[in-house]
Amino acid sequence: MTLIILFFGYRFFKGYITLLKYLYWIIFGIYITCLVDFTLFPFPYQKYLIQVMIEDHLGNTNNFVPFKVVVDSIRYGSFSIALKQVGGNIVLFMPLGFALPVLYPKIMKSRTILVGFTVSLGIEIIQGTIGFILGYNYRSCDIDDVLLNTFGTVLGFIVFSLSTKFFIKKKIDNQYIKRQGA
């Protein structure tokens, strides 16, 4: 976060970016920090706790079958758990789908979706790798997360597109009204 503030603060003070763009980058930095915090932490580091988890075969299981966890949650758990799983993963990545076109106006829909997919896949690979290194899964590596996060990116991009069209239409309407009144 500090690097984002310093780097884009320098660019702002040199006149390369506007204050609004600088604020967008700070908000995006806060989002990325929260995303990393929600998906990778708390990180287990206590040797005794790790040893107990390994000996007792505790930890989450990995899922490579699409929507298995969601279906099992509905079937054996509760609908509210499945809703939290689905909704949480979608909402977690919607800001990414919205923010990328704001920060990079020339980015296309396909690139935005690819970035969302890649970031989600990267998080799942990190979670799986850390679980492998520790000897137990403190976080599960789940294909559902990748699919739902990517869908959240798509929804975020759709919200961006609709809001942009709305504001452009409103601006054009306001210009027309001003011309008619003049």
Q: Is the pLDDT of residue 142 over 80?
A: yes
- pLDDT per position as a tens digit, 66-95: 998 888 888 887 788 888 889 999 999 999
In this structure, the answer to whether residues 98 and 162 fall within a common structural domain is yes
Question: What mean pLDDT, rounded, does the chain reach?
Answer: 87
155: left (phi over 0), alpha (psi -120 to 50) or beta: alpha
In this structure, the answer to whether residues 167 and 90 fall within a common structural domain is yes
> Per-residue confidence at 2, pLDDT binned at 50, 70, 90?
confident
In this structure, the answer to whether residues 16 and 49 fall within a common structural domain is no
In this structure, the answer to whether residues 27 and 52 fall within a common structural domain is no
Q: Which residue has 């403190």 as its token pair?
A: 138
**pTM (two decimals):** 0.84
In this structure, the answer to whether residues 63 and 134 fall within a common structural domain is yes
Per-residue burial over 71-87, b if 16 or more Cβ lie within 10 Å, else e, is eebbeeeeeeebeebbe
Domain that holds residue 91: 44-181
Per the structure, the count of domains in the chain is: 2
The sign one gets for the Cα dihedral 118, 27, 82, 53 is positive
| CA separation for the pair 181, 177 (Å, rounded) | 6
In this structure, the answer to whether residues 16 and 72 fall within a common structural domain is no
In this structure, the answer to whether residues 56 and 35 fall within a common structural domain is no
In this structure, the answer to whether residues 17 and 52 fall within a common structural domain is no
Amino acid at 49: L
